[in-house]
């Protein structure tokens, strides 16, 4: 087959992608990315729901179980820190495959833990895998979609994390009495393992990344073909103009004059909101069980927090098309600051279940929108490292939250008081949002 004739003027790869009409290939790519993120959400959240039965199995106290929860958060942090730079140099797709395999195999292995120490170790490795895969899938999807669809599609895909988290609670509530915590971990490992062949066969590497790293036009055209793009009559492409002045993705670039304030505000916001989310999500099942409920019932009730977050994320994804995404985040967090006070004293009434759902809607829903904002705030060459480090600071907050809960429990503070105190951090998040809105509106950001 003859090569297409070269054009005098290279094609801007971002414009080529922006001009691809909606098609089956794009929908398939979005579906695969949603499935990856959903399975990541399942594996990250399952430990909180099975914690009461794990504690009984190993004869562990709540403060000791906090080590298993914190280990996953620590692994997530390690994964996020390393994944961004690697994905910006080695490619988004290879890093996504490696991360997915890692958290699948570690979750499978954790089902065979013979001691709490082994479970803690495997949970840490599971977290590393999830932390590696998340920024890679975010950066890849952002660069496979037209700019006009990017924010809403990313928010929709990141709904998968909350969907997977909610599914972890739902399945725990219905299956734990039959298959135990080990069976649930096996389910969490088999799913992503089966998804790896689809990632390899159907997801292309980012065309923008290929152009930026000097890959041949044949590889770029092959990636565009997987997007359903008409084959251009040129074999020469150029990188997006936005990335022209940046030569390599690095943490230092996040603190350049152009992005310094945006980076600091995003990091602070992610630190506080992810810490708040994981304190509630990880310990709400244990709190509800402490009132005398069964593990199954506690898991079903606590899963309403994730289902509420999923509903909030869906609303946020639609809101992006009509209002500024950060405006939605700010309003939700301002109202949601009171919700931890309402769920700190569990009871068996429908009103309490509704409060748990609303708390998830107002606190965890905006996290999905923030992930999309973190991806869209940076250009191609620092997009993965930018999104990765923003999420990494969220994981630092998660780890700090998990560690603080363990210390507070040891010092005699009750879970109701700990969860109620989350209101203060959510309120601080609401105050930060207007400052971030102002920075992102500035020219050149």
% of the chain exceeding 70 in pLDDT: 89
Task: Kindly report the backbone phi and psi dihedral angles of residue 406, in degrees, each rounded to the nearest multiple of 5, phi listed first.
Answer: -60, -45
pLDDT in tens, 376-423: 788 767 876 787 788 778 878 887 887 788 788 878 888 888 888 899
Contacts of 226 (CB under 8 A, 6+ apart): 25, 29, 202, 203, 204
* Residue 2: inside a domain: no
Per-residue pLDDT, averaged over 224-232, amounts to 75
Q: Is residue 297 part of a domain?
A: yes
Please name every residue paired with 11 in a beta bridge, in sequence order, or none if there are none.
Answer: 237
For residue 323, being part of any structural domain is answered with yes
Indicate which CATH number applies to the domain containing 228. 1.20.1250.20
Average pLDDT estimate for 21-40: 89
Q: Which residues pair with 238 in a beta bridge?
A: 12
pTM above 0.85, yes or no: no
**Residue 4 covered by a domain:** no
Secondary structure letter of residue 6 according to DSSP: P
Q: 238 by DSSP, 3-state: which? A: strand
What average pLDDT does the chain have?
83
Q: What's the pLDDT tens digit per position in 327-373?
A: 888 999 999 999 998 888 888 778 889 999 999 999 987 887 887 78
Residue 76 in domain:
yes
Q: Two tokens at 33? A: 């990315």
Distance separating alpha carbons of residues 153 and 160, to the nearest angstrom: 11
**What's the pLDDT at 184?**
95
Report helix angle 295-320 to 365-376, nearest 10.
40
Domain boundaries, position 425: 11-440
Share of the chain above pLDDT 90, in %: 29
Higher pLDDT, 249 or 76: 76
94 occurs within a structural domain: yes
3-state class of 244 per DSSP?
coil
Is residue 127 in some structural domain? Answer: yes
Cite the beta strand spans of 269-372 per DSSP E. none
Alpha-carbon gap, residue 55 to 216, rounded angstroms: 55
Query: pLDDT by residue (tens digit) across 147-184?
Result: 777 777 877 787 888 889 889 989 998 999 999 999 99
Query: Any idea which of 217-221, 228-232, 250-254 has the lowest mean pLDDT?
Result: 228-232
Counting the structural domains of the chain, the total is 1
The reply to whether 6 falls in a domain is: no
């Amino acid at each position: 087959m003859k090569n297409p004739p070269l054009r005098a003027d290279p094609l801007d790869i971002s414009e080529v992608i922006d001009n691809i009409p909606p098609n089956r290939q794009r929908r398939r790519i979005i579906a695969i990315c949603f499935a990856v993120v959903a399975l990541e959400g399942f594996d990250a959240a399952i430990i909180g729901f099975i914690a009461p039965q794990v504690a009984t199995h190993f004869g562990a106290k709540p403060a000791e179980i906090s080590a298993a929860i914190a280990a996953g958060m620590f692994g997530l942090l390690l994964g996020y820190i390393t994944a961004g730079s690697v994905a910006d140099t080695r490619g988004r797709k290879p890093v996504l495959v490696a991360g997915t395999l890692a958290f699948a195999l570690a979750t499978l292995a954790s089902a065979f833990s013979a001691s709490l120490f082994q479970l803690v170790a495997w949970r840490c490795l599971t977290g590393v895998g999830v932390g590696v895969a998340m920024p890679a899938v975010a950066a890849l999807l952002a660069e496979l979609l037209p700019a006009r669809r990017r924010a809403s599609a990313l928010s929709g895909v990141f709904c998968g994390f909350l969907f997977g988290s909610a599914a972890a609670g739902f399945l725990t509530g219905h299956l734990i009495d039959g298959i135990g915590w080990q069976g649930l971990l096996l389910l969490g490992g088999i799913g992503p393992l089966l998804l790896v062949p689809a990632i390899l066969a159907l997801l292309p590497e980012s065309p923008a990344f290929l152009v930026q790293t000097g890959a041949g036009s044949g590889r770029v055209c092959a990636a565009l073909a997987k997007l359903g793009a008409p084959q251009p009559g040129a074999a020469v492409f150029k990188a997006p103009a936005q990335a022209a002045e940046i030569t390599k993705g690095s943490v230092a670039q996040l603190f350049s004059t152009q992005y310094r304030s945006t980076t600091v505000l995003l990091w602070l916001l992610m630190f506080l909101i992810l810490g708040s989310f994981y304190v509630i999500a990880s310990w709400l099942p244990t709190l509800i069980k402490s009132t005398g409920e069964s593990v199954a019932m506690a898991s079903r009730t606590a899963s309403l927090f994730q289902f509420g977050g999923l509903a909030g994320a869906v609303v946020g994804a639609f809101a992006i098309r009509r209002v500024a995404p950060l405006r939605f985040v700010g309003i939700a967090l301002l109202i949601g600051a009171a919700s931890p006070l309402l769920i700190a004293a569990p009871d068996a009434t429908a009103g309490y279940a509704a409060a748990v759902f609303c708390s998830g809607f107002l606190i965890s829903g905006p996290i999905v929108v923030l992930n999309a904002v973190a991806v869209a705030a940076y250009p191609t060459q620092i997009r993965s490292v930018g999104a990765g480090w923003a999420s990494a600071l969220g994981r630092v907050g998660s780890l700090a939250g998990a560690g603080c809960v363990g210390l507070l429990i040891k010092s005699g503070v009750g879970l109701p008081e700990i969860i109620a105190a989350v209101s203060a951090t959510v309120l601080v998040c609401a105050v930060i949002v207007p400052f971030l809105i102002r920075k992102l509106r500035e020219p050149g950001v």
